[in-house]
Amino acid sequence: MHAAAEMIRLPGPPTALFASQDLVTAGAVKAPRRAGVQERIALAGFDDFTLAGILTPGITVITHDAAQFGRLSAQLLSARLNRGNCRRAPRARIRA
């Protein structure tokens, strides 16, 4: 919630917030409401946020099969390990 509240206070606030999981989505719901801008900021979440259908304004949610997601991740990791070309992933730094 702290990050969402900080973004909302920016001189050019975002028009949408995206949350990666239920708890983060819950915090992202509170921040615009507390700032009185809930009608101006769209919300989207990656987990199927349980209360998404009853909140106003509504939240767009992306539903995924966690078990399938895990299986595919394990297969990809196994393939990389078997090829022997596992390198540390590059990191990107974004400065505000």
Asked whether residue 96 carries a pLDDT value surpassing 60, the answer given is no
pTM of the model: 0.58
> Is residue 78 one of the residues assigned to a domain?
no
Range 17-37 average pLDDT = 80
In the chain, the number of structural domains is 1
Q: Is the dihedral angle over the CA atoms 41, 34, 18, 70 positive or is it negative? A: negative
Say what the pLDDT of residue 91 is. Answer: 66
> Is residue 30 one of the residues assigned to a domain?
yes
CA-derived radius of gyration, the chain: 18
> Is residue 37 one of the residues assigned to a domain?
yes
Range 40-46 average pLDDT = 83
Q: What is the DSSP string of 45-73?
A: ESS--TTGGGSSS-EEE----HHHHHHHH
pLDDT tens sequence across 79-91 = 888 877 666 666 6
| Per-residue confidence band for 94, with pLDDT thresholds at 50, 70 and 90 | low
CA distance 72 to 19: 22
| Per-residue confidence band for 22, with pLDDT thresholds at 50, 70 and 90 | confident
Quote the domain boundaries for residue 43. Answer: 2-64
> Is residue 13 one of the residues assigned to a domain?
yes
